[in-house]
Amino acid sequence: MNLEIITPDKKIFSGEVSAVTFPGTEGQFQVLNNHAALVSTLGQGAIVVEGAHKETFTVDGGVVEVLNNKVLVLAESIS
């Protein structure tokens, strides 16, 4: 599936991944290939991206949308 992580300043990540774990405001959740459509708010915590290698981004909040194997993260800020 394709993942894009965007902040108001720049695009942080774009590429194919196999799984992404998010810090949802109601608890942590994971998105895999062919996941059902979803829109959720993000709390403060780690976004763990699993693809060719594992990457972790710390987000201060935001929104994630999952639709047709495309995952778009609009993050307030990434540290």
Q: Which pLDDT does position 73 carry in this prediction?
A: 98
Mean pLDDT of 35-58: 96
Summarize pLDDT for 55-76 with one digit per residue, the tens. Answer: 999 999 999 999 999 999 999 9
The full set of domain ranges for the chain reads 2-75
Q: Which pLDDT does position 79 carry in this prediction?
A: 83
Show Cβ contacts of residue 31 under 8 Å, excluding neighbours closer than 6 positions. 1, 19, 20, 21, 22, 38, 64, 66, 71
Q: Which CATH class is domain 2-75?
A: mainly beta
Confidence band, pLDDT 50/70/90 cuts, at residue 20: very high
How many angstroms separate the CA atoms of 10 and 24, rounded?
22
Q: What is the pTM of this model?
A: 0.94
How many angstroms separate the CA atoms of 48 and 55, rounded?
6
Q: Which pLDDT does position 71 carry in this prediction?
A: 98
